[in-house]
Amino acid sequence: MAAATEGARLSIRGAGKRYGDLQAIADVSLDVGHNTIVSIVGPSGCGKTTLLWSMSGLHGLSEGQVQLDGQTITGPHPDIGLVFQEANLLPWRNLMQNILFPWEVKRQKPDMAWINHLLDRVGLKGFETRMPRELSGGMQQRASIVRALSLRPSVLLMDEPFGALDAFTREEMNRLVEEIWLETKTTIVFITHSIEEAIFLSDRVLVLSKRPGRVIADYPVPFVRPRSLKTMASREVFDLTNRIKADIYGQTTLRAAAE
C-alpha cells in the first residue's frame, strides 16, 4: 500500500468496500490537502457516499485505510464533521436545540459566541426558537451546516447536501459554503452530482468510475476565489465541464470537442 503524501490532511490508500457480493468501491487512493475543497463526482451508484462515510469513520473499509494527519481513522473522529443529504433536524427540537444536540451528547459546554456568529453568518439569527417544520429546506440545511461547524471540525465532509433544493437556493448555498470556507479555511470534501457545483466550489475535482468506484481523473480547478458569474460562464469552465462529463459518460466526442 502506498504511503500517504507528506503534508496531506486526509489520505486514503487502497480503499475498498464490499456489501456482501457487491463491491462498492475498489482500490481508491487519494490525498486531500490542508485548507482545500475537493469535490467527488461520478455516475449514480459509483460509491461516492460509501467513500465519504468511510472517510468519516462511520463505515469501516473492507480493504485499505483512511488517515487524518497520519493517524488511521477507526471510528467517528472529533475533528471530522459531516453534513448529510438531508438536514436531519429532530422535529421535536427547535433550531437552537438541534444545533446544541451534539454538545449535549458530548456533555460539553457549547461555544455560544461561535454558534451565534455562525447563525448570523448564514442568516438564521432570530430563528433560534423556530421548529424545523417552520423552516424552508434551505434554512434547514443552513442549520445543519451550523450544527456541524459549531464543534469547529478541521475537516468537513458534505454528502450532496443541496441536491433536494431548487436551483436558486442551491446556488445561494454554494456561495454560502464558499464564503464560510474563505473565513474558516476548513478542509472540505464535497460529494455532488452537479459538475458545475463541483467546479464552483473546489480546488480539485475527482471523478469516480462506474461501480466499483475507482478514481479515474483528478482535475485541478485554477480559478481565483471568490468565483464570479463571469468566471463560471467562461470558455475555460465550459471546457473543464465537458472533460469531466466525458470521463463520467465515456463520450469521446465530448472530450474531443472540449480539447
**Mind listing the pLDDT tens digit for each residue in 176-234?**
899 889 988 999 999 999 999 999 999 999 999 999 999 999 999 999 999 998 999 99
pLDDT, residue 85, reads 85
Backbone phi and psi for residue 213, each to the nearest 5 degrees, phi listed first: -65, 130
What's the mean pLDDT in 60-76? 91
| Res 255 pLDDT > 90 | no
Residues 6+ apart with CB under 8 A from 165: 137, 138, 141, 173
| Among the listed residues 215, 203, 99, the one whose alpha carbon sits nearest the alpha carbon of residue 151 | 99
Q: Could you report the per-residue pLDDT of 134-149, keeping only the tens digit for each?
A: 999 999 999 999 999 9
**42 neighbors 209 (Cβ within 8 angstroms):** yes
Q: Can you tell me the distance from the alpha carbon of 70 to that of 66, in angstroms, rounded to the nearest whole number?
A: 9
At residue 189, the pLDDT reads 96
Place of cell 473546489: 202
pLDDT score of 71 more than 70: yes
Dihedral of alpha carbons 130, 135, 139, 142, sign:
positive
pLDDT of residue 254: 47
Query: Cα dist. 232→38, 51, 192, 207, 236 in Å?
Result: 18, 28, 17, 20, 8
Q: What is the mean pLDDT of residues 159-175?
A: 87
**pLDDT over 90 (residue 78):** no
Backbone angles phi, psi at 41, to 5 degrees: -125, 165
Q: Mind listing the domains of the chain with CATH numbers?
A: 8-79+154-258 (3.40.50.300), 86-152 (no CATH)
pLDDT of residue 164: 79
The answer to whether residues 182 and 190 touch, using CB atoms and an 8 Å cutoff, is no
Q: Is the pLDDT of residue 7 over 70?
A: no
Q: How many CB atoms lie within 10 A of CB 48?
A: 24
Q: What is the mean pLDDT of residues 118-134?
A: 94
